[in-house]
């Protein structure tokens, strides 16, 4: 019988010997490797925290105490230990469990979290909240009160929100433990002065004699009087590992370590002592990302979140990894196009915020290291840096996931748009992202950027249009601009793309070039890749409807000339977007129609509905929200005959049958 099968709750860890816990760590790694190799997912981050997770659950009772994850992509061992092993086979699917902490799954998950830097601030909030509710741990008064633990990585600690959290954590006068998981890696190698500091600490730090320096250290730390009290309650191991001249002491946090994050006896002893220290403390833990799988240890970036893979071992050839085959991605296409821009224009510069591989900027870094920058997990800083470079006359392209752009919106507003500076935003992972789920969907970039005066917003439908959009942005000096594209492979059915003209759509169905001689039943304005599924939907309905398909290209400004031509002819319009239905491209079309003085009742919007979409494949998510070919076909029918189609859908819902496309092409009445 496996040890893992004996774990019903984390409390069962307390009945196991150290040797059994070490064997259990091996079993957990085997489960993670097996699952991720078959389906993809976050591999290296989770392999690195197995012993640390076991030790934390052994010492603390997180059904009672508070555990706050940062980013959350290192939560697989935590989920396995907290009763979700049976659903692990369906990880990152709607039928299984999320790849990030998810409160609806378990009482052990406190926040849905997928963005970096938040864990310390939310931990401070819970620490203060428990104090006010008189449920916090307090030695001698409430020994059974709630303790608070925040788990954060060394790459996340440099995030501005994390810094703000540290600044406030140092003012606490109660227990709060920050566990710094230092693996020398984010998704790729961390950047900046803090990363260099941790490098020095790892190399140079040795456990000092606490009698030599600890008391003197406490005397100089802000809040040292409080820390002195904690010092007297420490065990000898913790005293001996106090880090002298630690960076964290400037925030008023006692710092211990670094200690070996794979040494279970040491971890358990330090955590046992740390749980009773009633002042804020940092436990610096050194781990190896990808631990237990040699190929992941050797290339932690590649195996941070790999696709399905197979490892082949040969005595002569060594270890070879075969990744699941797939087509050409938008990310790869962007990376190539960016290098091409930089080759042709020496004023083009680029930056990314810790996503050099994920955004494709790694190619530019390799080819143009003097004009390419990885700022680390600092989106706000990166945006401001790009604005500064634009002010100097350069042409900055900031490659960032749509979901992380939200962190830089204030800077997009204040330092770019307000100044009229042409910073170019390249928004990867726009729309529904698949297995990462709600924490990573890029569903609101149009809505937030569209509010900025003079901003120009574009979208790509394939590689040719992506290149055309980037070329347009390269020469656009009128202010902030953006292009959005999904985490998906490219479909090249539409061929070569003509150059982008400001606010001009592109007709994808040339038979409707003259609307007077060939008037469509419905016109689709697709913003971005929904144009591909729309093309399939049109083929499905070809014998019943005449549908004109346009690549809208711009959400701001929309093509008002085209809109006028369609509305003057009373042609129903269906807008499509892989974005929230609220405030997106469809809303821009409605507003433009009203501004032109037209009745906008024949404009039907279709996009991501106003509720959270959970983890699954991107294809399944698009199907769920009706942005696949079948769903768009239904919307074409609805746009053509909205009253009849609505009645049909209502009757189908009453009979519990899934509605099929309404195909009666009798014109709507009234």
Main-chain phi, psi angles of 507, to 5 degrees: -80, 125
Q: Which two tokens stand for residue 200?
A: 């020095």
Produce one character per residue of 510-545: b if its CB has 16 or more CB atoms within 10 Å, e if not: eebeebeeeebbbbbbbbbbbbbbbbebbeebeebb
Cα 449 to chain center, whole Å?
Answer: 18
Q: Cis before residue 321, ω within 30 degrees of 0?
A: no
CA distances in angstroms from 75 to 91, 109, 114, 120, 492, listed in the order given: 12, 10, 11, 16, 38
Nearest residue to 424 (alpha-carbon basis) of 484, 480, 500 = 480
Give the whole-angstrom CA distance, residue 289 versus residue 303. Answer: 9
Distance, in Å, from the CA atom of 114 to the CA atom of 123, rounded to the nearest integer, reads: 16
Which residues neighbour 605 within 8 Å (Cβ) at sequence distance 6 or greater? 575, 581, 584, 586, 587, 589, 590
| Known catalytic residue at 102 | no
- What token pair was written down for 550? 């346009």
- Distance (Å, whole) CA 175 – CA 298: 37
Residue of 291, 407, 546, 618 with catalytic role: 407
Cβ neighbours of residue 406 under 8 Å, at least 6 residues apart? 444, 445, 448
Long-range CB pairs of 211-214 (<8 Å, 24+ gap) are 213/242, 213/244, 214/239, 214/242, 214/244
As a whole number of angstroms, the distance between CA 233 and CA 498 comes to 72
> Do 84 and 100 contact (CB within 8 A), yes or no?
no
SS3 668: coil
CB atoms within 10 A of CB 451: 12
**Secondary structure of 131-172 in HEC code, one letter for each residue:** HHCCCECECCCECCCECEEEEEECCHHHCHHHHHHHHHHCCC
407 is catalytic: yes
The residues pairing with 68 across neighbouring beta strands, listed in sequence order, are 150
Specify burial of residue 41 (Cβ count, 10 A radius: 0-12, 13-18, 19+): buried
Round to whole Å and give the CA distance between 41 and 424.
30
Report the largest interatomic distance among the alpha carbons of the chain, rounded to a whole angstrom: 93
Marked catalytic residue, from 51, 102, 273, 379: 379
Locate tokens 């907290």: which residue? 82
* Strand 547-551 with 424-428, pairing: unpaired
In SS3 terms, 563-577 reads as HHHHHHCCCCEEEEE
How far apart are alpha carbons 573 and 2 in whole angstroms? 60
Give the contacts of 240 (CB within 8 A, at least 6 positions apart).
Answer: 207, 208, 209, 210
Given a contact cutoff of 8 angstroms between Cβ atoms, the answer to whether 256 and 284 are in contact is yes
CB 130 within 8 A of CB 136: yes
Q: Which of 58, 79, 289, 429 is catalytic?
A: 289
Closest CA to 149 of 167, 171, 130: 130
Structure-token match 């052994």, residue found:
58
Which sequence positions are flagged as catalytic? 289, 379, 407
């Amino acid at each position: 019988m496996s040890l893992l099968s004996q774990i019903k709750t984390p409390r069962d860890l307390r009945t196991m010997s150290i040797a059994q816990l070490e064997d259990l760590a091996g079993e957990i790694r085997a489960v993670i490797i097996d699952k991720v190799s078959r389906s993809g997912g976050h591999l290296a981050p989770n392999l690195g925290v197995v012993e640390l997770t076991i030790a934390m659950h052994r010492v603390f009772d997180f059904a009672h105490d508070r555990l706050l994850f940062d980013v959350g992509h290192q939560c697989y061992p935590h989920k396995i230990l907290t009763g979700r092993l049976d659903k692990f086979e369906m990880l990152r699917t709607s039928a299984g469990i999320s790849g990030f902490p998810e409160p609806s799954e378990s009482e052990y998950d406190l926040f849905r979290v997928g963005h970096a830097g938040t864990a310390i601030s939310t931990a401070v909030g819970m620490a203060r909240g428990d104090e006010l509710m008189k449920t916090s741990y307090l030695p001698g008064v409430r020994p059974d009160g709630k303790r608070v633990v925040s788990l954060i990585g060394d790459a996340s600690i440099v995030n501005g929100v994390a810094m703000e959290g540290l600044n406030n954590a140092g003012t606490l006068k109660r227990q709060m433990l920050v566990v710094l998981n230092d693996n020398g890696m984010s998704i790729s190698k961390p950047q900046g002065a803090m990363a260099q500091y941790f490098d020095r600490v790892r190399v140079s730090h040795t456990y000092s004699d606490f009698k030599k320096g600890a008391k003197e250290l406490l005397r100089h730390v802000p809040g040292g009087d409080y820390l002195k009290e904690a010092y007297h309650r420490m065990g000898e191991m913790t005293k001996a590992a106090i880090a002298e001249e630690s960076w964290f002491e400037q925030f008023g946090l006692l710092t211990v370590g670094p200690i070996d994050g794979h040494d279970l006896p040491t971890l358990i002893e330090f955590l046992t002592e740390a749980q009773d220290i009633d002042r804020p403390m940092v436990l610096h833990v050194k781990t190896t990302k990808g631990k237990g799988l040699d190929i992941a240890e050797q290339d932690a970036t590649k195996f941070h979140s790999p696709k399905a893979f197979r490892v082949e071992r040969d005595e002569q050839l060594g270890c070879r990894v075969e990744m699941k085959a797939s087509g050409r991605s938008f990310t790869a296409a962007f990376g190539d196009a960016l290098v091409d821009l930089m080759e042709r224009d020496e004023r083009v510069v680029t930056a990314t915020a810790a996503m050099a591989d994920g955004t494709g900027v790694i190619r530019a870094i390799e080819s143009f290291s003097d004009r390419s920058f990885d700022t680390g997990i600092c989106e706000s800083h990166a945006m401001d840096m790009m604005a500064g470079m634009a002010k100097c006359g350069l042409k900055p392209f900031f490659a960032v996931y749509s979901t992380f752009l939200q962190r830089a919106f204030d800077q997009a507003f204040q330092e770019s748009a307000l100044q009229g500076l042409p910073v170019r935003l390249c928004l990867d992972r726009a729309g529904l992202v698949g297995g990462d789920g709600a924490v990573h969907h890029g569903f609101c970039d149009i809505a937030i950027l569209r509010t900025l005066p003079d901003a120009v917003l574009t979208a790509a439908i394939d590689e040719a249009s992506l290149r055309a959009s980037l070329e347009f942005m390269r020469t656009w000096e009128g202010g902030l601009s953006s292009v959005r594209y999904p985490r998906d492979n490219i479909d090249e059915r539409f061929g070569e793309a003509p150059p982008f003209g400001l606010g001009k759509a592109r007709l994808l169905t040339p038979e409707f070039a003259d609307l007077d001689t060939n008037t469509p039943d419905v016109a689709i304005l697709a913003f971005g890749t929904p144009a591909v599924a729309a093309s399939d939907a049109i083929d499905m309905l070809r014998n019943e409807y005449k549908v004109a398909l346009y690549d809208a290209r711009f959400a701001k400004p929309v093509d008002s000339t085209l809109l006028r031509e369609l509305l003057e002819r009373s042609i129903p319009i269906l807008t499509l977007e892989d974005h929230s239905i609220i405030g997106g491209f469809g809303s821009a079309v409605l507003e433009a129609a009203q501004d032109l003085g037209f009745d906008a009742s024949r404009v039907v919007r279709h996009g991501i509905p106003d509720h959270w979409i959970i983890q699954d494949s991107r294809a399944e998510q698009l199907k769920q929200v009706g942005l696949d070919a079948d769903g768009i076909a239904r919307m074409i029918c609805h746009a053509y005959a909205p009253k009849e189609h609505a009645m049909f859908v209502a009757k189908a819902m009453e009979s519990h049958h899934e509605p099929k496309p309404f195909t009666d092409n009798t014109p709507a009445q009234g």
